[in-house]
């Protein structure tokens, strides 16, 4: 049986706020598995609007760490944690792990409070982070044994395209 691929555009905006557009974010569907590419502003809202449950997303790929591509990550991460105990895998260029840890640090008091109430740490503190070292194939356990290749793009900061 052939793998079915589909793309859902969640946001195609730029760094400048626009009431009619959201920050860069897309869902790549591999059959019924949604994979989030970039995490721009309003991504959680756009996912809800598209009837895509945050808990259904197990993989997030970041193309690069410009603000307009990552501003929605904190809300996505915490919102997903509230609705899921499933492990998240975050893939991106060098600096992705530090970025993720900064988000946790920013919200450490809120996270500690929720943990003290008994909320399990699974789905948040166990995030699997893969930093891309160079162009080529990356090892990741995607559905249907899909393989991912990366290619460095010309941009003002380290940026990867995914195939």
Q: How far is CA 43 from CA 59, 60, 74, 87, 130, in A?
A: 14, 12, 10, 19, 21
From the list 89, 11, 90, the residue with the least C-alpha distance to 52 is 11
Q: Which residue in 31, 32, 68, 141 is the catalytic one?
A: 68
Distance of alpha carbon 83 from alpha carbon 57, whole angstroms: 11
Does the annotation count 68 as an active-site position? yes
Report, as residue numbers or ranges, the catalytic residues: 68
């Amino acid at each position: 049986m052939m793998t079915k691929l589909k793309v859902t555009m969640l946001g195609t905006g730029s760094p400048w706020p626009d009431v009619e557009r959201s920050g860069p974010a897309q869902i790549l569907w591999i059959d019924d598995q949604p994979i989030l590419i970039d995490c721009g502003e309003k991504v959680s809202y756009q996912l809800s609007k598209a009837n895509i449950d945050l808990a259904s997303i197990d993989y997030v790929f970041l193309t690069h760490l410009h603000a307009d591509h990552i501003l929605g990550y904190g809300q996505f991460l915490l919102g997903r944690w509230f609705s899921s105990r499933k492990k998240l895998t975050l893939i991106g260029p060098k600096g992705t792990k530090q970025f993720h840890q900064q988000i946790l640090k920013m919200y450490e008091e809120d996270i500690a409070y929720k943990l003290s109430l008994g909320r399990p740490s699974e789905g948040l503190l166990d995030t699997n982070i893969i930093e891309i070292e160079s162009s080529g194939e990356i090892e990741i356990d995607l559905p249907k044994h899909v393989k991912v290749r990366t290619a460095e793009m010309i941009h003002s900061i380290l940026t990867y395209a995914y195939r």
